[in-house]
A and B are shown apart, each in its own frame.
Chain A
Amino acid sequence: MSTLVRDRSSVQPALPGVKEPRRRPSRRTTLLAAAVVVWILGFLVLHGTSTLTLPASELTDLHRSLNQFNAWVAANRADNPVFLYIFTPLRAAVDSVANLFTTTFAASSTGLRLPEIGWLGTVGLLGWIAFAVGNVRVALLTVAIFMFFGLQGLFVEATYTFALVLTAVLLTLLVGIPLGVLAGVSSRVARVITPVLDFMQTLPTFVYLAPLALIFLIGPASAVIATVIYAAPPVIRLTAHGIRAIPANTREASDSLGTTGLQRLLTLQLPMARRTIVMGINQSTMAALSMVTIAALIAAPGLGQVVVRALQSLDVGTAVNAGLSIVLLAIVLDRVTTAASRRAEPGAARNRRFSRKTRYLILGVTLVLALAMVQFSRSVLWAAAFPKDLNIGPGIVQAVSSASQWMQNNLSLFTVSFREAITTGILNPFQSLLTETPFYILVAVIAIAAYALGGWKLAAITTACLGVLIYLGLWSDSMVTLAGTLVATAVVMILGIIFGVAMGRSERVDQILRPVLDAGQTMPAFVYLVPFLGLFGATRFTAIIAGIIYAAPVAIKITADGITAISPTVVEAAISSGSTPWQVITKVQLPMARQSLALAANQGLIYVLAMVVVGALVGAGGLGYDVVAGFVQSAIFGKGLAAGLAIVFLGILLDRMTQAAAAAPLRKIPSSKIRLAKTSAT
């Protein structure tokens, strides 16, 4: 287990458990060992030469020409047909939809800035909708949580965020479901669309915030457009998947009845894929919420603004109060859409408690009630704006602030020395190993490793990716980012294996941990940064922690699933032949869950990489900093754009290499490993 992690961080990302000790070394092992030797020799001998360092204030000609984009947009906004007929009308359309929802739920721009339907109406109406698409439990949850926003003193902010999420999700579905259907019925469309979706999902959100804000100007419209770009891939993918997963014989049965393409779509494919599509809606909604929070940086109103302000004034209390609202909103959206997908399950209608007629009656009565609440909230002031005296927000802020102050006063010695130890002991040496080795040595090392893992094709792809990094002028920054990413992923894998094995071996641990992991995954990254910022200051270390928290749940879940999926007979056999639990884990379960481990490493890397830019907000350097700085300083706009692209190519490189490492040795290893485990156990 530790071998696995050490190999990952010291050689390169793609080697979970390359060795098979005391056996004849395979060609692959020899090649990988050679790569390590070349690297270390190169580092020792040619230390500090050809490192392609570019000081932060300096630009390459490429960056300067990308800067021109800024000027071009400024010059063409008024008269270029692209702006006149596409961008400006699009912005106006999106803006009017966003406006409709914000004036309905949050605040209209007139007079006292009260919403069209006040808090009482919002609570009633949303509760009713939750009841109609889900069940009584989620309806009550919705009502309780929206009331709680009021108590927190954040009702207006929360409804602003809610309104923007609603706008973005509606537009996402408008675009995403048709595209998903197309990709589901036509494999040609799927082939074109899949790489685009991959690209959209690896592209850090900050990278398109800057150009989008230039084209569509800052404000809710750009925020919604950015959110749609971020939230569309899940629903497109899942819709396509749902349609494609329909068994061929079902489809043929329908075809043999002579249905036309459209009939087939409406009567067979869409209804049968319904549950998967609703799951896609769930995923897209969660993505939309996290993006709307980040879009506060381009003037999207709502809870994100509160968090951003708290981040800038290191106000942990306020950040936690607003963060709590975001988490609660995430829970509402998740539970309601999940309940809706349960309801959409084929056959769900049969085992319901009420008959359909009773249900309609209840729905009708509650609707009248909800509408009465709406009307009430439009005519009485206390039902329109949440009463200010009912406010526990300051209490929460105060309590959290003093707790965090206490921690900073009393734990800072511990946290600071821990941070310094990790930074100087692991991070700095590893970073200099990457940044101070000449670039041609590293390119050669990575190419050899890629060849060992996946043959000429992989070697060509990785070399091309590295070439792009050099072309973008950001080699050194890329290596800084790579160092942080690999260290974070190593920790993620350690956590993944420890907790994954624990969860895979014990049902009870699984039941306890899984909700915690779910919460970790739904919480937008912004929220948990602030407390860590308080404890560890703005450093690379804090950024790495942010990446770990974001990526660990995924890795743990995948590992746990892998361990659980091992056939119990194999484990029984090992136990009955006298293996200790430790032997069962190291000799049977981990080797057999190899593919899951590799997948966990792959996903862990991609998730950590997705946090690189957010990490730059709390002190990470490298590409993330370039992106953030390019976003806020127009003089280095082009460099930020280039850095965003560099992150994508770094992502492709790491993804392909881990995938190759996962795929290649599987054919042989499990059987030999089992034999090994048995012989060593007896």
Chain B
Amino acid sequence: MNKAGLLLKRIVPAVAGAAAAALLLSGCGGASVNQVAAAGGSSEAPCGAVNVAMNAWVGYTANAAVYSYVAKNQLGCTVVQKDLNEQISWQGFASGEVDVVMENWGHNDLVKQYITDQKVAVDAGPTGNEGHIGWYVAPWMADKYPDITDGKNLNKYASMFATSESGGKGQILDGDPAFVTNDEALVKNLNLDYKVVFSGSEAALIQSFRTAEQNKTPLLGYFYEPQWFLSEVPLKKVALPAWSKGCDTDPEKVACDYPVYTLNKVISTKFADSGSPAAKLAKGFKWTNEDQNAVATDIQGGMAPEAAAKKWVDAHQEVVASWLK
């Protein structure tokens, strides 16, 4: 009895405090610096908040940084960046968690699910970049073993690529498990004596290739263009059986190289219909591989993404203006 009473007595002041706080919040609500700011912001442009998904490669970061910079500084939007995996980002279109995906690599299954069937997202047009995915070797290897860039000869060199992680087979180093990849299926369907090992991230892939070129150690790995790193170490692509339409429909039976991807932007239907100037900017956004690599190189060199974006935007005012028209 006594103890319950005690408990009650401790709760009473806590509740009283909470109630007082609530009163304070509601009573003085009008005076909040937050609302003042909101009112001030809205007089410039009716933009509001834009949720930008941030996928984990620097090329993507470059696109998103420039988009965010323009949306924030020229349109007065509030940009919210969310670090998400590629495929997880798509799930955010329906809930409003994600408004914009700034660089999409194909994903026909997701296009069907979210754009065609559920109609929660729309294609916002190409980014102007052309994407290539494939298997690459360090340049010194292509010089020393000229026939290595033909996929048919890979088995000949398998033992050279063996590591303690690859179980006696040759190693193919992949990036983040979330990236678009058919490598496991390719190894099996092309009867290659290799094992796919995941490095976990783009940064780890780049690190590995850089070390391999410096120390002249063998390395075969998954890589892609546009990619700033290729101007530092010009990796050589290994030719796999050419891509033809439909050869990669069944992910378990793929036995051909990756297609050429026309990279595009995807935005949520809600956002596209909102009339927000940021949606217009997302649709208008278009640049070249050189542009992306310039921004990505700056970011990789230690510049903050926002600063790198500012540098590019300042130098390309007329391009940005054309996006907003």
Contacts and interface: CB of A to CB of B under 8 A. Distances in A.
B84 interface: yes
B32 interface: yes
A95 to B, nearest CB: 9
A423 interface: yes
B70 interface: no
A599 interface: no
A633 B1 contact: no
B164 A420 contact: yes
Interface stretch (B33-41, B141-149, B152-160, B230-238): B33-41
Given A349-B6, A632-B88, A618 B200 contact: yes
Given A115-B34, A379-B33, A274 B83 contact: no
A581 to B, nearest CB: 40
- Main DSSP-derived SS at the B contact region: helix
B87 A113 contact: no
Given A274-B7, A380-B33, A537-B204, A629 B177 contact: yes
Contact of B28 (A113, A266, A378): A378
What is the interface residue range for chain B against chain A?
35 or more
Given A109-B49, A111-B39, A299-B92, A57 B252 contact: yes
A632 B202 CA distance: 16
A293 to B, nearest CB: 13
Contacts of B1: 267
Contact of A218 (B95, B110, B182): B95
B123 interface: no
Interface stretch (A183-191, A304-312, A586-594): A304-312
Contact of A116 (B13, B25, B87): B25
A629 B95 CA distance: 23
B92 to A, nearest CB: 5
A533 B200 CA distance: 10
- The binding surface of chain A is classed by DSSP as helix
Interface stretch (A15-23, A125-133, A241-249): A125-133
Interface in B1-57: 1, 3-4, 6-7, 9-10, 13-14, 17, 20-21, 24-25, 28, 31-42, 49, 54, 56
Contacts of B96: 219
A74 interface: yes
Contacts of A270: 4
A309 B57 CA distance: 10
Contacts of B31: 378-379
B285 to A, nearest CB: 22
* Most B Cβ at <10 Å: residue of A132, A271, A312, A631: A312
B28 A218 contact: no
Given A57-B251, A635-B251, A267 B4 contact: yes
Interface stretch (A231-239, A367-375, A561-569, A672-680): A367-375
Contacts, number: 212
B289 interface: no
A217 B204 CA distance: 30
Contact of B32 (A213, A311, A379): A379
Interface string B95-119: 1111000000000011001000110
Given A267-B1, A619-B198, A374 B83 contact: no
Contacts of B3: 271-272, 274, 346
Interface in B171-202: 176-178, 182, 184-185, 187-188, 196-202
Given A57-B184, A296-B83, A633-B87, A108 B200 contact: no
Contacts of A428: 164, 167
Contact of A217 (B7, B95, B167, B203): B95
Interface in B38-96: 38-42, 49, 54, 56, 78, 80, 82-88, 91-92, 94-96
A8 B198 CA distance: 30
B92 A266 contact: no
Contact of A132 (B17, B80, B83, B94): B17
Given A217-B95, A311-B200, 18 more contacts: A55-B188, A74-B118, A111-B42, A112-B34, A113-B78, A117-B25, A132-B13, A133-B10, A214-B91, A218-B97, A219-B95, A271-B3, A271-B4, A311-B201, A312-B202, A374-B25, A539-B165, A634-B87
28 contacts: A55-B188, A59-B252, A74-B113, A74-B117, A104-B25, A110-B37, A111-B41, A114-B34, A116-B32, A133-B10, A271-B3, A297-B85, A297-B88, A299-B84, A301-B82, A311-B200, A312-B203, A314-B203, A371-B21, A375-B28, A384-B34, A537-B199, A540-B165, A619-B198, A631-B88, A634-B87, A634-B110, A635-B251
Interface of B: 1, 3-4, 6-7, 9-10, 13-14, 17, 20-21, 24-25, 28, 31-42, 49, 54, 56, 78, 80, 82-88, 91-92, 94-98, 109-110, 113, 117-118, 164-165, 167, 176-178, 182, 184-185, 187-188, 196-204, 207, 251-252
